Amino acid sequence: MAAAVGIPVAILAAALLALGAQLQNQGASRVDEETPDGKRFGLEQLLALVSTPRWLGGSTILGIAVALQLVSLLFAPIAVVQPIGALSLVITVLLDTRMNRARIPREAVVAIGLCLLGVTAFVVTASLTTSSGSPTPLATGVVLALLGGVLAVLGVVLVRLREHRSALRSAVAAGLLFGFVATLAKLVIGRVAQIVAHGSGLRPADGLTLTCVVALLVAGGIGLSLVQAAYAAGSPDLVVAALTVIDPLVAVTIGVAVLGEAAAAPGWAFAVFPVAEAVAIVGVLRLSRHQPEPGSRDRQRRSMGPATP
């Protein structure tokens, strides 16, 4: 019964995510056009976004989407909620095609299909063979340690490659972080729900819960900045594709490997997980090479210059 509430809320969050991503992309692209060639996307550009109405509107919508996703996590398992975000990929492609009068290449359609196929296979398998539990302090500590390692590695990679902008690299990094953010949010929400339901106060072990809140904010903030850099360097279709594939795969993988959600899963499930993940990743890589292209009318209009009254 709880999933009947969580699933529709998660679908609405996915739709708002797509709309917010489209508006943020338009705002970030405008700021990028005003940035001198060769200058990387940094603090100056982030501050410029604050004065961009479209970016602010997109950020507001994304904030609502995040709030709805947190509500859905309260009612449904993370293995069900996170992958529903893949719907935002389809919605984003349709919005981008409509707004930019673009056409979707056949290769891009195949890539999107691979993304959705991989994510769907992974999630359906996880939802049928996994179950939520009460994470131990050790498991929570492992999640925090893994996040620390990921942040360290990403920091080194992004600093070394800061002069070589890549929408795919930034989006994948953001997806990794958002996967941890979703996991930490689930841990925090679960603990708060226990306190409210049983009327118990904070325990010494809840220091880890507070650490999860801090880690969630740090990872979320870095992830958002990476998303803006990805929007400025590439198509929103690619960015949302990477986020909607990497984010749920990371979250569900942590749930299976660290939180013990697949302790009673049959052997065949562990054969499906890596295959489904590989299919989804191939879809993202293919989409990075085959983006929707402007229609013939738009190409003709640009070649002729501004229209005259």
Exposed, middle or buried by CB within 10 Å (0-12, 13-18, 19+), for 4?
exposed
What token pair was written down for 101? 């009068």
CA distance 208 to 195: 15
Reply yes or no on whether the pLDDT at 305 is more than 60: no
Backbone angles phi, psi at 103, to 5 degrees: -120, 145
Reply yes or no on whether the pLDDT at 196 is more than 60: yes
Backbone angles phi, psi at 293, to 5 degrees: -110, 145
Number of CB atoms found within 10 A of residue 214's CB? 11
At 220 the pLDDT is 92
Count of structural domains, the chain: 1
pLDDT mean over 64-89: 82
Lowest average pLDDT, out of 27-36, 190-199, 300-309, goes to 300-309
pLDDT mean over 55-64: 88
Measured in whole angstroms, the distance separating CA 221 from the mean position of its chain's CA atoms is 13
pLDDT mean over 91-119: 80
Reply yes or no on whether the pLDDT at 177 is more than 90: yes
User: Considering the domain boundaries, does residue 168 fall inside one?
Assistant: yes
User: Considering the domain boundaries, does residue 302 fall inside one?
Assistant: no
305 Rama sector, left if φ>0, alpha if ψ -120 to 50, beta otherwise: left
Q: What percent of the chain has pLDDT over 70?
A: 82
| b/e per residue 225-253 (b: at least 16 CB within 10 A) | bbbbbbbbbbbbbbbbbbbbbbbbbbbbb
Expressed as residue numbers, the domain containing 116 is: 2-291
User: Considering the domain boundaries, does residue 303 fall inside one?
Assistant: no
Kindly indicate the confidence band of residue 64, based on its pLDDT and cuts at 50, 70 and 90: very high
Kindly indicate the confidence band of residue 280, based on its pLDDT and cuts at 50, 70 and 90: confident
Which of 40-44, 69-73, 173-177 is most confident? 173-177
At 134 the pLDDT is 73
pLDDT one-digit tens code per residue, 215-240 = 999 999 999 888 888 877 777 767 87
pLDDT mean over 121-138: 79
User: Considering the domain boundaries, does residue 298 fall inside one?
Assistant: no
- Supply the pTM of this predicted model: 0.73
CA distance 178 to 250: 8
pLDDT one-digit tens code per residue, 66-77 = 889 888 888 877
At 61 the pLDDT is 92
**Structural contact between residues 86 and 120, judged by C-beta atoms closer than 8 angstroms:** yes
Q: Which uninterrupted H or E stretch holds 294?
A: strand 293-294
User: Considering the domain boundaries, does residue 276 fall inside one?
Assistant: yes
Kindly indicate the confidence band of residue 119, based on its pLDDT and cuts at 50, 70 and 90: confident
Backbone angles phi, psi at 294, to 5 degrees: -55, 145
User: Considering the domain boundaries, does residue 306 fall inside one?
Assistant: no
162 against 118, higher pLDDT: 118
**Structural contact between residues 145 and 137, judged by C-beta atoms closer than 8 angstroms:** no
Q: Is 194 helix (H, G, I), strand (E, B) or coil?
A: helix
Backbone angles phi, psi at 165, to 5 degrees: -70, 140
**Structural contact between residues 269 and 253, judged by C-beta atoms closer than 8 angstroms:** no
Distances (CA, A) of 169 to 10, 81, 149, 284, 295: 26, 25, 18, 11, 28
38 Rama sector, left if φ>0, alpha if ψ -120 to 50, beta otherwise: left
User: Considering the domain boundaries, does residue 300 fall inside one?
Assistant: no
Reply yes or no on whether the pLDDT at 211 is more than 90: yes
User: Considering the domain boundaries, does residue 236 fall inside one?
Assistant: yes
CA distance 6 to 26: 30
Reply yes or no on whether the pLDDT at 18 is more than 70: yes
Reply yes or no on whether the pLDDT at 253 is more than 60: yes
Of the candidates 182, 230, 198, the one whose C-alpha atom is nearest the C-alpha of residue 73 is 182
